[in-house]
């Protein structure tokens, strides 16, 4: 119970810090949302009335307090541009982002686990060199460059996939590859490193002395003990998928919360920006808590340390 309360308090502190930072940073960003709503040619009286209606004429600290008072009631406010509740706008875009994040995470698991096991099994030999080279390449290429490169190759050059959007079959392939490859590379290197550390432990010599071959020792004894740190890394990546999807969604015009966030920043639609950032922060924190719980269940030493 004490651990649960401590975890909950840590989560609330993180979310409070993130939302407060975003609130004050948005207040310092140049530009007036009234210009977006009414246009720069609007009359001064109309501008003053709009600022009063939006609460922008009140002191900054008062607006900050009102933001948390509304948030405590589950009210994220209304979009300044779309004139709809922020929660409805965000939830409308969320399924597309979850689909992209789920596909990318599946790619990470399917690619990283076999590559990491093969690299550790054949350490120093050509399968290990290929796996490490592939992982290094995946970590070195940024999403904003990899995405257009994949479009040029598979969409424009070969015509196998759509260029952008989410209306045709196969639209998910290139965004998922762009978002998942770099994360798969990190997980591959982490799993290889963890497996090699476990394989050097003396207790595995006993397993070999019992007649088990290297593959059985690796899969039955080393892999279960090497997974806790990998699970933690996967949890960090799962939480980062929502944030990492912003660049990928913009590159491929994917209709998710990432493109919504960029559009809201351009339009000075502050309530939508705050709502999306809060969603990303909550997703990241919950993913980390889930990873910690899974790692603790897999390794009793972590439970005792906690």
- At 233 the three-state DSSP class reads helix
pLDDT tens across 103-150, in order?
A: 888 888 888 888 888 888 888 888 888 888 888 888 888 877 888 888
Tell me the whole-structure pTM to 2 decimals: 0.80
Lowest mean pLDDT among 44-58, 105-119, 124-138, 159-173: 44-58
Cα-based distances in Å from 213 to 125, 188, 206, 218: 18, 23, 12, 9
How far apart, in whole angstroms, are the C-alpha atoms of residue 32 and residue 65?
21
**Bridge partners of residue 85, in order along the sequence:** 78
Q: Are 116 and 127 in contact (CB under 8 A)?
A: no
Residue 165 φ/ψ region, left for φ over 0, alpha for ψ in the -120 to 50 degree band, beta for the rest:
left
The average pLDDT across 38-61 equals 72
How far apart, in whole angstroms, are the C-alpha atoms of residue 198 and residue 201?
5
Q: Are 191 and 234 in contact (CB under 8 A)?
A: no
* Backbone phi and psi for residue 254, each to the nearest 5 degrees, phi listed first: -80, 130
The average pLDDT across 20-38 equals 72
The average pLDDT across 160-165 equals 77
Over pLDDT 90: what percentage of the chain?
A: 0
Look at residues 191, 222, 215, 199 and name the one whose alpha carbon lies nearest to residue 114. 191
pLDDT tens across 189-212, in order?
A: 888 888 888 877 777 676 677 666
Lowest mean pLDDT among 93-97, 153-157, 220-224, 275-279: 220-224
Q: Which two tokens stand for residue 1?
A: 């119970």
- Which CATH code is given to the segment(s) 86-305? 1.10.3720.10
Q: What pLDDT does residue 39 have?
A: 65
Q: What is the residue-averaged pLDDT of the chain?
A: 79
Q: What pLDDT does residue 117 have?
A: 87
Residue 305 has pLDDT above 60, yes or no: no
DSSP state of 41: T
Cα-based distances in Å from 114 to 106, 227, 299: 13, 13, 22
Q: Where are the alpha helices (DSSP H) in the chain?
A: 2-28, 33-38, 44-54, 60-72, 86-121, 126-140, 143-150, 173-199, 203-209, 214-216, 223-251, 257-266, 270-298, 300-305
In the block, tokens 């990432």 appear at: 258
Residues contacting 93, CB < 8 A, separation 6+: 255, 256, 257, 259, 260
pLDDT band, residue 40 (cuts 50/70/90): low
Cα-based distances in Å from 158 to 150, 153, 155, 163, 181: 10, 6, 6, 11, 20
Q: Measured on CA atoms in the order 25, 29, 32, 33, is the torsion positive or negative?
A: negative
How far apart, in whole angstroms, are the C-alpha atoms of residue 274 and residue 94?
15
Residues contacting 272, CB < 8 A, separation 6+: 79, 80, 81, 82, 86, 89, 90, 260, 261, 264
Look at residues 268, 112, 131, 127 and name the one whose alpha carbon lies nearest to residue 182. 112
Domain regions of the chain by residue span: 2-72, 86-305
In the block, tokens 């982490």 appear at: 190
Q: Which two tokens stand for residue 54?
A: 């939006």
């Amino acid at each position: 119970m004490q651990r649960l309360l401590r975890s909950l308090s840590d989560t609330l502190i993180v979310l409070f810090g993130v939302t407060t930072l975003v609130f004050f940073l948005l207040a310092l960003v140049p530009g007036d949302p009234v210009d977006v709503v009414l246009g720069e040619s609007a009359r001064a009286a109309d501008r003053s009335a709009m600022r009063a209606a939006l609460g922008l004429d009140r002191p900054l600290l008062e607006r900050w307090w009102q933001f948390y008072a509304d948030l405590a009631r589950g009210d994220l406010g209304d979009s300044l541009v779309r004139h709809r509740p922020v929660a409805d706008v965000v939830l409308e875009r969320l399924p597309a982002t979850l689909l992209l994040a789920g596909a990318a995470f599946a790619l990470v698991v399917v690619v990283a686990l076999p590559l990491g096991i093969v690299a550790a099994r054949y350490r120093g030999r050509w399968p290990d060199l290929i796996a490490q080279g592939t992982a290094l390449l995946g970590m070195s290429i940024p999403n904003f460059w990899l995405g257009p490169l994949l479009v040029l190759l598979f969409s424009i050059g070969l015509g196998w996939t759509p260029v952008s959007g989410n209306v045709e079959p196969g639209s998910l392939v290139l965004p998922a590859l762009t978002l998942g490859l770099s994360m798969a590379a990190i997980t591959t290197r982490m799993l290889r490193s963890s497996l090699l550390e476990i394989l050097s432990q003396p207790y595995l010599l006993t397993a070999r002395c019992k007649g088990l071959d290297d593959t059985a020792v690796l899969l039955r004894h080393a892999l279960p003990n090497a997974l806790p740190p990998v699970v933690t890394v996967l949890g960090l990546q799962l939480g980062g998928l929502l944030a990492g999807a912003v660049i990928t969604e913009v590159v491929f015009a994917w209709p998710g919360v990432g493109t919504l966030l960029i559009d809201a920043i351009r339009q000075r639609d502050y309530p939508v920006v705050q709502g999306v950032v809060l969603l990303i922060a909550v997703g990241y924190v919950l993913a980390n808590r889930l990873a910690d719980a899974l790692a603790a269940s897999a390794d009793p030493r972590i439970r005792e340390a906690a």
